[in-house]
A and B are shown apart, each in its own frame.
Chain A
Amino acid sequence: ETGVTQTPRHLVMGMTNKKSLKCEQHLGHNAMYWYKQSAKKPLELMFVYSLEERVENNSVPSRFSPECPNSSHLFLHLHTLQPEDSALYLCASSPDTTWETQYFGPGTRLLVL
């Protein structure tokens, strides 16, 4: 499955660093999503974009800053993260936000030291 790609696959950063996660979808979809997957917790929806406009922000701290320059690309900018932010960050896309099925990327495993 290469419809949704994410880079990097692994990232280690210090609490004072600034880094960005990238997601790209090759499916012609108009909606894109960021999820956080922590150990033994359900996936948490972080952000939803529809046609490059943010339509949902689930009370995510401001140290996470999303950007959607076009419908194929989605970024998650990270700064001054905390160790508890260490998790797998998954990107997903769907034809639009009403579509019932989402297609996921392989995720970025983030470790904050």
Chain B
Amino acid sequence: AQTVTQSQPEMSVQEAETVTLSCTYDTSESDYYLFWYKQPPSRQMILVIRQEAYKQQNATENRFSVNFQKAAKSFSLKISDSQLGDAAMYFCAYRSTGTASKLTFGTGTRLQVTL
């Protein structure tokens, strides 16, 4: 079974600085999807970024980028120029291409953004 591990329960970053959130996963599959979801205090889980495992190029979405290391099974999220609105819980998630529908989530990292 796949597992997703987020080893940082809480992180803090100053406004305008850069922060990296860690995620590792365990799988025996070669093709899959990885995600970072953001859950602000409003509780709505919002997709931040998505990576297909067969793509070597790291995904980027504006200030958000990932460092995908397939051999190491690592999928970290980098947030550049942090803003107060980035404060939220961040969840890493895995989805197999072979199994319909099942997303496996990590336990989350709470990100605080300070002035």
Q: Which residues of A come within 8 Å of B, CB atoms?
A: 1, 31, 33, 40-43, 45, 48, 55-56, 88, 90, 92, 94, 97-98, 100-107, 109
Q: Which of B101, B105, B106 contacts A55 (CB 8 A)?
A: B101
Q: How far is the CA of A1 from the CA of B42 in the complex (A)?
A: 11
Instruction: State the interface size on chain B (CB cutoff 8 A).
Output: 23
Is B11 interfacial (CB-CB < 8 Å)? Answer: no
Q: Which of B13-21, B43-51, B54-62, B71-79 contacts A (4 or more CB under 8 A)?
A: B43-51
Is B68 interfacial (CB-CB < 8 Å)? Answer: no
Chain B residues closer than 8 Å to A56, beta-carbon distance: 101-102
Chain B residues closer than 8 Å to A94, beta-carbon distance: 101
Is B90 interfacial (CB-CB < 8 Å)? Answer: no
Q: Are B45 and A104 in contact (CB under 8 A)?
A: yes
**30 A-B contacts, Cβ less than 8 Å apart?**
A1-B44, A31-B101, A33-B101, A40-B107, A42-B107, A42-B108, A43-B91, A43-B105, A45-B102, A45-B103, A48-B101, A55-B100, A56-B101, A90-B43, A90-B45, A94-B101, A97-B100, A97-B101, A98-B101, A100-B33, A100-B50, A100-B95, A100-B97, A101-B35, A103-B47, A104-B37, A104-B44, A106-B42, A106-B44, A109-B43
B3-50 with Cβ < 8 A to chain A: 4, 33, 35, 37, 42-47, 50
Q: How far is the CA of A56 from the CA of B101 in the complex (A)?
A: 9
Is B65 interfacial (CB-CB < 8 Å)? Answer: no
In the complex, what residue of chain B is closest to A58 when comparing beta carbons? Answer: B102
Chain A residues closer than 8 Å to B102, beta-carbon distance: 45, 56
